[in-house]
Amino acid sequence: MGYIMDLRNFVGSSPLIMVGSCVLIFNQAGELLLQRRTDSNDWGTIGGSVELGESLEEAAARELYEEAGLIAESFKFITILSGKDMYYKYPHGDEIYNVMAIYEAQNVQGNPKVNDNESHELRYFSLEEPIENLNPFTKHYLKKAGYIVKW
């Protein structure tokens, strides 16, 4: 998060518009890979902010590798989400309005493993059952992207 952290040095915790990519990774059983985040201790999708000069697809690929040690052959664009529903205040006080491109990773190579300091663990979850301690954006991403969530 170099660019965002640099901006934070100037604006403190004030709201920023943060452009990023979210990657949905499904296994053969149709389960979604989630990470238990170190900053909020809840379960959320793989993803993060775009760095200077990086495309949304490049950010998706980088985040997928950085956070889960995985490589995708390609990414299927799903949708872009923005607006007041995409506001988030981190537990430490930083505020953002996300502009998030949602992608589904295609033909994923490797086995998921915690590959950075942003995750406590990675696990696949069924969309058939509620997920305890789910990040509020993850359910929003799935519903807006047209995935059938049974909870």
- Indicate the CATH number for domain 2-144: 3.90.79.10
Among 149, 72, 56, residue whose Cα is nearest residue 105: 72
pLDDT digits (tens, 9 = 90+) for 97-142: 999 999 999 999 999 999 899 999 999 999 998 899 998 888 888 8
Instruction: Report CA-CA distances (Å) from 122 to 7, 34, 113, 115.
Output: 29, 6, 7, 10
Q: Say what the pTM is.
A: 0.90
What is the average pLDDT score of the chain? 93
**Domain range summary for the chain, segments of one domain joined by +:** 2-144
The pair of three-digit structure tokens given for residue 110, joined into one six-digit string: 């490797």
